[in-house]
Structure 1
Amino acid sequence: MKMIFARTKLLFPLGLILFLITSSIHSQTKTYSIAFGSCDNQRLKNELWKSIDENLPVAWIWGGDNVYSDTEDMNALKENYAIQKNDADYLEFMANKQILGTWDDHDYGLNDGGEEYPYKRASQQLLLDFLGTSKDAPERFRDGVYNSRLINVDGNKVKIIVLDTRFFRTAVTKSLNSKKRFQPNHYGQGTILGEAQWKWLEQELNSSEAPFNVIVSSIQLLSDKHGFECWGNFPHEIDKLEKIIVASKAKGTFIISGDRHIATFSSKKVPNLNYPLVDFTSSGLTHVYSSFSGEENPYQIGKVVAEKNFGLLQFDFTNHLVIMQIRGAENNLLSEHIQQY
């Protein structure tokens, strides 16, 4: 190296040489970004699309409550999706990237709704239309909007596993002895995903060869003390998911979620899993829980963000890590968690 430098120092200034060396190192690091978000009221202006696009994500994941349309009128729901999809900033944003996602209750059609919603099959097709799902996709012909997609950029793979926490979800238990909305069901009572979706999820994880696997859940998995909708209302379902992840040996598996109108990171040490299980919540895009003053979450890491936000996932395939960022207006970085896998 000294000989090379001695021969070239008369031709190139030192600053240029260091720049070339640094550029060479960075060019060997394989990375790309995926963005996600939830809670986007079509009647409010989403001012984040351009900020999201500054990060050059290759894909956008809708995390649920993609419109607000608690209704049994499918024409009204269709019109609300049209408002959202025809927004000028969104049309420009979606032009050069993959779009996928799930629903939550307000775009499903029933606040806190589950299997009892009578128009869920018609609503399902409207969501898939909004996402641009092909007419021959499996989720067009089966119950539930769950699906998966392999994002492959120059051979660098991320598997996105999108869950449906609405179509099959059985009854929740209203809280009787506190100001909370719900309390956990008795252990073993009820389901979030339903039998068919559980089998599908297990197959998706078992067959995955991707170095990163992102599970999309509209509701939070780990934060389970707040009394709103979450996986904690079905504690046996949390145990089942954790055991499936461990048994599958799927690499770099973590959760992204929405629903809460706040953004935060939660992390849990799961027995026999050689990395922490992270649940990255990003919500909301157009309106947030601005009066948030704190809540119990034993798995919380970092701060809770209560301003408009989106989630950004930066995958570093060379160093086997994910840089998880909560970003807001003007693309400002609000909080960050780096997870090594």
Structure 2
Amino acid sequence: MKKFIFLSLSLIFLSCKTTQKPSEDDLFKIAFGSCNLQDKDQSYWELIGSENPDAFIWGGDNIYADTEDMDEMERMYAQQKTNAYYQKFIYQLDNKVYGTWDDHDYGLNDGGVNWEYKDQSQQLLLDFLDVEDSERRNRKGIYSSEIIKVKGHEIKVIILDTRYFRSDLQKSSNQSKRYKASQDAELTLLGEKQWKWLDEELKESNADYHLIVSSIQVLSHQHGFETWGNFPSEVEKLENLLVKRQVKNPLILSGDRHISEFSQKEIEGLDVPLTDFTSSGLTHAYTGFSGEENEYRVGKVVPKISYGLIEFDFENNQLLLEIKSTKNNKQLQKLVLQMK
């Protein structure tokens, strides 16, 4: 197990070997974020753009629609997509915009498999992401994968859909928590078809890095809101699959919570700890946050508006994860991962 060093202003994970700081040209950057109210100030895209990211990933709640009126949802997507700040930002990217949905852009708060308008909503999200006519247009659910090839390395971006197939959540009798974990192994988060697809994607992958995008947190499970932890059998299934397919350098990206944080879990059979980088939200945050349990938390919770930035240092095989303010671009917390 690697030894870690804590510094007071930020959290840094380093291996024992000495590394040289790479030049800006040697880095590859991916920005990501979630929870974006389209009616709020969008000038923060200039701050993200100042980091010169090569790609951007939407983590869900890309707009706040919560409506059965698909014409109204289309109008909201258009409002976001045509925003001058956003347009300027996506124009500068070398790679396209990737993304998943969460509940508010799905159309129903905490919605799952029974949402009546999910197929119409899916097409609107694909329009927003400029997905051309392809199998994704005919597939049930918005899960997909992309390979980014850069400097002789491959980054596989795996977009999961935690809405379209998700079984009903179990209400908690604890007044401080909305939902509770269900021990019913028949309940599902991803659904049979998506699980089969994910297995094939990981089985056939030769990528050097795997970014797994989940709109809800995977590791943090004690807060009583939406989380993979409400489906313990699905968490176990994912962990077992990562080990079975010997997935190289996995990193989970999540959103939803209106807080940002790092979570990390040692999983026997994986070469590196499994890290869940939660970034939420871009335009609003849980400013009244007073604390919650997370046995896997690394560092502190950041209850401020922010986005996530991942810097790939291929020479030293390290990832720099940064939580950065969408107010002033200040670094709020960071984590360095030594990959294999």
TM-score between both structures, scaled by the size of structure 2: 0.91
Deviations 1:110-146 (A, max 9, x none): 000000001100100000000111122x211110000
1:336 to 327, 331, 334: 334
Identity score, percent: 50
Which residue of 212, 231, 236 maps to 1:234?
231
Is 2:218 the partner of 1:260? Answer: no
- Cα offsets for 1:218-258 (capped at 9, x unmatched): 00000000000000000010000001111111211010000
Contact 1:29 1:316 in 2 (8 A): no
What's 1:159 paired with? 156
- SS in structure 2 of the partner of residue 200 of structure 1: helix
Q: Say if 2:39 is the partner of 1:39.
A: no
In the alignment, what sits opposite 1:300? 297
Question: Within 2, Cα distance between the matches of 1:201 and 1:319?
Answer: 29
Per the TM alignment, residue 331 of structure 1 is displaced from its structure 2 partner at its CA by 1.6
Number of the residue aligned with 2:83: 87
Looking at structure 2, the residues matched to 92 and 172 of structure 1 have their Cα atoms a distance apart, in angstroms, of 39
Specify the SS of the correspondent of 1:214.
strand
In the TM superposition, 1:319-334 aligns within 5 A as: 319-328=316-325, 329-334=327-332
Counterpart of 1:330 in 2: which secondary structure?
coil
Instruction: Report the secondary structure of 2:92's partner residue.
Output: coil
4+ runs deviating over 2 angstroms: 24-31, 153-156
In structure 1, the gaps of 5 or more residues are 1-23
Secondary structure in 1 aligned to 2:88?
helix
Aligned equivalent of 1:217, options 201, 214, 228: 214
Q: Distance in 2 between matches of 1:168 and 1:80?
A: 24
Report the structure number with the largest CA radius of gyration.
Answer: 1
Whether the aligned pair in 2 keeps the contact of 1:46 and 1:285 (CA below 8 Å) is no
Amino acid in structure 2 at the alignment position of 1:118: E
Aligned residue number for residue 49 of structure 2: 53
Counterpart Cα distance in 1 of 2:105 and 2:84: 21
Equivalent position of 1:116 in the other structure: 114
Equivalent position of 1:317 in the other structure: 314
Match of 2:92 in 1: 96
- CA deviation after TM superposition for structure 1 residue 189, in Å: 3.6
**Aligned residue in 2 for 1:63:** 59
**Residue 69 of structure 1, CA deviation:** 0.5
| Displacement after TM superposition at 1:273 (Å) | 1.2
Q: Does 1:273 align with 2:270?
A: yes
Q: Give the conservation status (yes or no) of the 8 Å contact 1:265–1:278.
A: yes
SS of residue in 1 equivalent to 2:321: strand
* Structure 2 unaligned residues grouped into runs of 5+: 1-19
Q: In structure 1, what is the equivalent of residue 10 of structure 2?
A: none
SS, match of residue 237 in structure 2: helix
Offset at 1:27?
5.7
SS at match of 1:325: strand
Distance change >3 Å, CA 141–CA 293, structure 1 → 2: same
Question: 1:142 aligns to what?
Answer: 139
Deviation at residue 30 of structure 1 after TM alignment: 3.8
Partner Cα separation in structure 2 for residue 267 and residue 320 of structure 1: 18
Paired with 1:154 and 1:276, the residues of 2 have a C-alpha distance of 25
Q: Secondary structure at the match of 1:95?
A: helix
The number of residues matched between the two structures is 317
Match of 2:74, as an amino acid? K
Instruction: Answer yes or no: is 1:188 the counterpart of 2:185.
Output: yes
List per-residue Cα deviations over 1:155-207 (Å, max 9, x = no partner). 33211000000000011100013420000112414100000100111111121
In structure 2, do the counterparts of structure 1 residues 25 and 282 end up closer, same or farther at CA, with 3 Å as the change threshold?
Answer: closer
Shift in CA distance, 92/244, structure 1 to aligned 2, threshold 3 Å: same
Paired residue for 1:72, among 68, 75, 85?
A: 68
* Aligned pair partner of 1:288 in 281, 285, 288: 285
